[in-house]
Structure formats: C-alpha cells, structure tokens
C-alpha cells in the first residue's frame, strides 16, 4: 500500500468518523429537544382543554342544578337509561346507552326519588376539542371512554360514530389506571403519535383526554435536519478528500522525491543533481542529509575510481569516525600503497640485480679480453720478434698482431672500461668521449666536474651514469643526427648532476616506445633513486639527471 493511500485512508476515516459522531450527536440532541418540546406543547394544550372541559361541565352542572323543577331537559327518546344503575345525582357518561352510540354526557339529579336528566351539549365539547391551535396538521385532541371507545369525533374517521372506534392504546390503558403521561406510541389508527393523556374525573364521569400529533409531522424538521446533516457530511467529506489530496501531495511529494533519489542511489548512481522544492524544515533537513550522503558517497566513489586507476596519492576525508566506507577505502589505499611500494622496491631490486649481473658479466668478459687474450697476443708478438728470422715476414706478422691487440682493447673498452673501477666515471667518460671524437665526425664535449680522487660516486652509480651516457650518445648519433653534443657531469656534496645536450632533431618525450634506449635510461635512473627531466624539440634535446649521493 502506498503512503498516499495510507494517509488518504487515515485522514478521511478520521474526518468521516468525526463528522458522523458530530451529526449523530446533534441529531439525537435535536430529536430529544424536539420530543420534549412537542410533548410539553401537547401537555399544555391537553391541560388547557382539560380545564376548559372541566369548567364547561362544571358550569353546565351548576346551571342544571339551578333549574326549577319541570324545567328539566326532556328525556331523549334515543337514550335508554337503566335507572337502577344510577343511584346518585351526578354526571354520567351515557354514551353506551345511546341507541345510536352518540356521545352523550348526562347529568342526573335525584331529588326525593325523582330523577331529573340533563345533557351537556356535545357541540360545546366538540368546539373545545376542535380548537386546534398549536396542533399542526395532524394534531388531535379527543376523549375516550372507560370502555376504550371514543367519545369525541375522530378527525380522521369523520363518518364513523365515535363510540364505534376502539381505542386500545398504551396511553388509554395507562390513563385508565389514573396515570397521566406523555409518550410516543401507536394510536387507534396504528400510526405512531406523540401523545399526552390524562384521566378526566368529574363526579361519576370518567373520560380520558388525549392530545396527539402524528410522529411523521413532528419529525419533518428532524428529517430535514437529517437530510441537511447528511448533505453537510457529504460536502465536508468531499471537501476533506480534496483537501487531503493536496495535503497528501504536500507530505508525500518530498517523500516520493526522496524515495526516487534513494532508489537512484541504491542503483549506484550518485551523480543525479535534480533539485526538489522543499517546504518544511524537516524535509529541508532530510534533503540536506541526503545531499551530504550523496556527496560523501560521491567522494567515496571518486576516491575508489582514483584507487581503481591506481592513483594512490588521492586523498579522502571520512565524514566522521563512523564513516566505515571512507575509513575502509583509506585503509585499502594504504594497503595498496604499501603493496605498491613493496612491489616497486622489489622491481627496482630485481632490475638492479639484473643490471648488476649484466655488468658483472661484461666486466668479466672485458677483463678476460684485456688481461687474458691481450697478454697472450703480446706474448705472440714477442715470440715473433724473437723467433722469426725473415725481416719482412716478421714485420707483417707483428702488424697483424698489433691490429688484433688494438681491436681487443677496443672491444674490452666497449664492453666495460676498467677505468670505471680504477678511476671513476669522470675520467672514464673523458676517455670515452676522446675515443669517440677520434672515430666519428661529431663535435662532442665532456666536462668533468667530479671530485677527482675523492669522488663519492659509487662504482655502481658510476657504471649507471656511464651507461646512460653511452645510450644518450648512441641515440644522438643514430636517431637524432646531432652535430654537437655537450655532456656535463657535476658532483656536489649530496648529489651528482648529469646534463646532456644535443642539437639533433629531437623526439616526442611522451611517445617513448618501450624497449628503446630511453626506457633503459629511466630504469637506470630509477635504480639509482634519481630524477630525470627531458626536454626535446626539433633543434635541441636536453636531459637533466640527478642522482643522490650517500654522505
């Protein structure tokens, strides 16, 4: 479930719940107040009518009593009053004795065993009952006899004789027991009504007075309210849904943006630079934190990239003590650095051993030629001198031997000048340059600024310097077609500087092919722990090599 749906459900359920509770409560409250109001109103109407009826009957009774004898009302032919049942004067309900069931309130006066009868005009009662002020559309006040039949005319059944309508309702039952009350129940029509009832007792007359109003009429405003409330609820919910939609967008957009950012980052892309609107402080902080994380990761990625390229001088600052990634990367770099240094040391050592071996072999061979073959040839020359008699033959043979000796000397010197061990690199280079000047057509100068006699240049360093010079001269002659070469070797307290110049056509320093003499020079400088700087253009090439001396 997405966060949008979740928030929508939570917000809207809350709103629906709140609005419903509010509506139901107010509805109930209203309904209760309405009930009370209606019943109170009905009660006052009923009380009024009760009083009116009581007054009416009282007046009628008094008027009846004041009548002179003989002035009494005529006995109605339709009413058969069982005189045996009437023992005392008073007012009676004679309706059951009316042949047509017409409501008849009778007054009886017994004087000296003489019965006088009078009747209260029903229309007078009817007028009171039909006074319907405050009774609304369906309101009705009516009288019920103790036999549970109606005494007054029903508004709803105008054609029926009242006494034929049975009213056996809860109100009537209660009232018959002398109780008065107000409540809602089904009336004689079977319709729910608000009803107020009480027993009317005057003399022997017992009538039940009910004032009622249809529930349906009473509840019209309630229903209106209900409809209004439902409308309101729906409107509020509708508005709240729309509002929540905006609210959700405000809340979830940054979260979604962050989600997208994090997703992208989780895929390993730390380079995204999308800017999002940030509305609240928390969101701003979140994005700042994310940006920091991104930056840190980017830093780590760049650092790893550098490490991947074996650029071990790259630096990286861990974000904090707990930045495990940063610290691990740094640890990795240090390990790699250590490894590379070790490897470099090993490589240089291997190279040094190789060069040393080579040099040793050359030295051996050179000495063998110089000190082994050479003396043998001179011995041969002496032999010729001593033993050959023929002068011409002697001369010729001696010349051949001399040439051979010279050749051997050159070969020996080319392999490795013994001078390096005996005199150092300075004098050796002086000799070397001298011999070159004699054999090739090139202007070559060597300036020896080494400390003659107490030079600190070791044999090994000297050999490397000599070989570097050989290589450089070789390149200048073979490839650069140089006319002038100047070599300067300057010895100082703690380093020796070799400066080499030629006016040849130069070469591209960056495109030195592997296996060429230059690589060899680089390697020799490296094993001497020295530095090299090359500058080359079409007219001039210089090499600056510095080798530290151990004091």
Partner 1 sequence: MSKIKVIIADDHELFRNGLTELVKKQENIEVIGSVADGNQFLNIIKKNKEVDIVLLDITMPNMDGFDVLKKLKDIKSSIKPIIISMHNDGNYMAKCFKSGAYGYLLKNTDEKELNTAIETVYLGKKYFNTEVTEKMINFMSSNSVSEKIISKKETEVLMLISKGLTTKEIANQLFVSSRTIETHRANILKKLEVKNTAELIKKAVKIKLI
**Interface with partner 1 by CB under 8 A: which residues?**
367, 370-371, 374-383, 385-386, 398, 401-402, 405-406, 409, 417-419, 422-423, 426-428, 430-431, 434, 445, 447-449, 452-453, 486-488, 490, 492-493, 495, 497, 499, 501, 533, 542, 544, 546
Helix (H) or strand (E) holding 283: helix 281-308
Q: How far is the CB of 331 from partner 1 (least distance, A)?
A: 38
Cα Rg of the chain (Å, integer): 68
Pick between residue 208 and residue 496 the one whose CB is nearest to partner 1.
496
Pick between residue 238 and residue 382 the one whose CB is nearest to partner 1.
382
Q: How far is the CB of 392 from partner 1 (least distance, A)?
A: 15
CB atoms < 10 A from the CB of 410, how many? Answer: 13
Pick between residue 60 and residue 491 the one whose CB is nearest to partner 1.
491
DSSP string, 15-60: HHHHHHHHHHHHHHHHHHHHHHHHHHHHHHHHHHHHHHHHHHHHHH
Q: How far is the CB of 377 from partner 1 (least distance, A)?
A: 8
Pick between residue 282 and residue 396 the one whose CB is nearest to partner 1.
396
Token pair for 507:
């070469």
Q: How far is the CB of 450 from partner 1 (least distance, A)?
A: 9
CA distance 521 to 469: 9
Pick between residue 302 and residue 535 the one whose CB is nearest to partner 1.
535
* Residue 366 contacts residue 412 (beta carbons within 8 Å): yes
Question: What end-to-end distance do the CA atoms of the chain give, in Å?
Answer: 78
Pick between residue 92 and residue 446 the one whose CB is nearest to partner 1.
446
Pick between residue 348 and residue 377 the one whose CB is nearest to partner 1.
377
User: Residues 6 or more apart from 117 whose CB is under 8 A from it?
Assistant: 72, 73, 75, 81, 106, 107, 108, 109
* Residue 104 contacts residue 94 (beta carbons within 8 Å): yes
Classify the phi-psi angles of 113: left when phi > 0, otherwise alpha if psi is within -120 to 50, otherwise beta.
left
CA distance 469 to 450: 15
Q: How far is the CB of 435 from partner 1 (least distance, A)?
A: 9
Q: How far is the CB of 474 from partner 1 (least distance, A)?
A: 19
Q: How far is the CB of 497 from partner 1 (least distance, A)?
A: 5
């Amino acid at each position: 479930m997405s966060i949008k749906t979740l928030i929508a459900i939570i917000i809207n359920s809350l709103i629906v719940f709140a609005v419903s509770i509010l509506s139901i409560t107010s509805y109930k409250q209203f309904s209760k107040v309405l009930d009370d109001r209606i019943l109170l109103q009905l009660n006052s109407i009923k009380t009024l009518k009760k009083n009116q009826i009581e007054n009416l009957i009282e007046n009628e009774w008094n008027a009846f009593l004041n009548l002179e004898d003989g002035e009494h009302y005529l006995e109605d032919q339709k009413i058969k009053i069982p005189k045996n049942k009437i023992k005392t004067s008073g007012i009676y309900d004679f309706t059951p004795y009316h042949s047509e069931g017409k409501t008849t309130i009778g007054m009886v006066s017994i004087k000296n065993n003489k019965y006088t009868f009078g009747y209260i005009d029903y229309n007078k009662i009817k007028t009171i009952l039909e006074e319907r002020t405050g009774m609304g559309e369906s309101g009705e006040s009516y009288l019920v006899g103790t036999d549970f039949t109606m005494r007054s005319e029903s508004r709803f059944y105008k054609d029926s004789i009242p006494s034929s309508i049975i009213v056996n309702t809860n109100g009537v039952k209660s009232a018959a027991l002398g109780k008065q009350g107000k409540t809602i129940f089904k009336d004689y029509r079977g319709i729910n009504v608000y009803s107020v009832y009480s027993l009317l007792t005057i003399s022997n007359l017992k009538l039940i007075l009910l004032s009622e109003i249809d529930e349906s009429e009473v509840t019209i405003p309630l229903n209106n309210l209900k409809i209004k409330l439902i409308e309101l609820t729906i409107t509020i919910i509708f508005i709240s849904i729309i509002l929540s939609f905006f609210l959700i967008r405000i809340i979830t957009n940054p979260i979604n943006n962050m989600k997208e950012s994090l997703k992208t980052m989780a895929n390993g892309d730390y380079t995204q630079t999308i800017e999002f609107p940030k509305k609240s402080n928390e969101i701003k902080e979140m994005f700042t934190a994310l940006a920091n994380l991104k930056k840190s990761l980017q830093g780590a990625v760049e650092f790893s990239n550098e490490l991947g390229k074996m650029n071990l001088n790259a630096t990286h600052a861990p974000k904090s003590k707990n930045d495990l990634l940063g610290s691990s990367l740094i640890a990795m770099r240090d390990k790699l650095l250590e490894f590379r240094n070790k490897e470099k040391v090993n490589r240089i050592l291997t190279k040094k051993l190789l060069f040393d071996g080579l040099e040793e072999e050359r030295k051996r061979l050179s000495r063998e030629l110089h000190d082994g073959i050479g003396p043998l040839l001179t011995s041969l020359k002496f032999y010729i001198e001593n033993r050959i008699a023929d002068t011409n033959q002697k001369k010729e043979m001696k010349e051949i031997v001399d040439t051979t000796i010279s050749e051997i000397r050159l070969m020996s010197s080319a392999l490795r000048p013994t001078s390096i061990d005996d005199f150092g690199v300075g004098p050796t280079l002086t000799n070397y340059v001298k011999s070159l000047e004699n054999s090739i057509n090139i202007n070559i100068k060597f300036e020896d600024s080494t400390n003659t006699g107490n030079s600190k240049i070791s044999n090994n360093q000297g050999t490397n310097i000599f070989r570097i010079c050989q290589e450089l001269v070789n390149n200048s002659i073979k490839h650069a077609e140089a006319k002038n070469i100047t070599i300067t070797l300057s010895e100082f307290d703690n380093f020796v500087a070799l400066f080499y110049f030629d006016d040849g056509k130069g070469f591209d320093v960056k495109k030195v092919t592997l296996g060429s003499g230059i690589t060899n020079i680089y390697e020799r400088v490296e094993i001497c722990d020295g530095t090299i700087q090359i500058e080359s253009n079409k007219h001039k090439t210089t090499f600056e090599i510095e080798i530290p001396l151990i004091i």
